[in-house]
Copies of this chain bind each other. A is one copy, B any other.
Amino acid sequence: MTISDVAKLAGVSKAAVSKVIRNDYGVSEAMRDRVKRAIDELGYRPQAAARALRGRSFTIGVLMQHIGIPFYAEIMSGLVEQLEESDYQAIMIQGGTRAKTEERAIDALMDRQVDGILMIAPLAGRTQLERVAREIPTLVLGRHDRSPAYDSIVDDDRTGSELVMEHLIALGHRRIGHITFHEDHGQPADHKPHLRAETYERVMRDHGFADEIAVVATSYSEEGGYRGAHELLSRSPRPTAIFAGSDESALGVLTALHEAGLSVPDDVSVAGYDNTRLAAHPNIALTTVNQDGAVMGRTAGRLLLERVEGRAAAVHFSVTPSLVVRRSTAPPGPGA
């Protein structure tokens, strides 16, 4: 089943069929109709490989360390939604957690002649990324180091953290603790999620609460939040609110509070970051920051298609997060 079969059935040339498929100009209405009918009748679908050999593969490659991360699923749903209206298809590939395996995955995408690459939080250094970007339209998501060679999308952690802090302060909190992570925790240096901790401190200072600043550096995992909360609660007086740097760690905070016999939000308010699925669960009801992965994914799709269409200048996009207030935050209780 090839383009020749369609041409034969429609009684036209292969070139004509090709034009119809690609919505190229220079085909009469009658021609278009006949060809389309033939295509439908045969159930013909062009082979991507043959098309790729002459130009486009109509494929967008997405690189991620692993599937299984809920936030990535959101990004993908946005991307797929955006690409749905085009002729492009997204394929995903796992890069793993080592530079070596990631490189292999990137090569695999290039071998397959993808028309664009979306790299979600890649490990590769800027030089490497630029090498890829020279060959293929590239968009890097979640890295705060820009390059004129590729587009980028970042979440605006500064704004997100401000939203949390202003919310807590407006509720009347002053003694607000924060849980961040150690430098050497497997995150590339330029991921800079430290922006959250930085912003926490700045907002505290701006409001004249410099003396109340209490930061614990563990990790963004549930267990890190658990340990961090333990340390914060051991201080006297204990904080009336805890801003955990991620939802995962906020879950650990909730566990620690529960074990300590403290209730949320009456004794301590808790806020997270990321708006993961569990945060929305009625039994958790965590106030958090929504990064809107779907918007990021849609934007990524749009920017990549623009690149494929010829845009050369780099675009850097910052997605503004929003605050999702749930039951885990409230004014400080009388006991605090």
Contact = CB atoms under 8 A, between A and B. Distances in A.
Interface of A: 45-50, 52-53, 57, 59, 64, 66-70, 72-74, 76-77, 80, 89-94, 96, 107-108, 110-113, 222-223, 226, 252, 255, 281-283
Contacts of A92: 67, 91-94
A223 B64 CA distance: 30
Given A89-B93, A92-B92, A94-B80, A57 B49 contact: yes
Nearest to A105: B89
Q: Which 5 A-B pairs have the closest CB atoms?
A: A68-B73, A67-B67, A49-B52, A92-B92, A89-B108
Contact of A45 (B70, B73, B110): B110
Given A111-B48, A113-B48, A68 B70 contact: yes
Nearest to A283: B255
Contacts of A94: 76-77, 80, 90, 92
A252 to B, nearest CB: 8
28 contacts: A45-B107, A45-B111, A47-B52, A48-B49, A48-B111, A48-B112, A48-B113, A49-B49, A49-B53, A49-B112, A49-B113, A57-B112, A64-B67, A67-B67, A67-B68, A67-B92, A68-B73, A76-B94, A77-B94, A80-B96, A90-B93, A91-B91, A91-B112, A92-B94, A112-B112, A222-B281, A223-B281, A223-B282
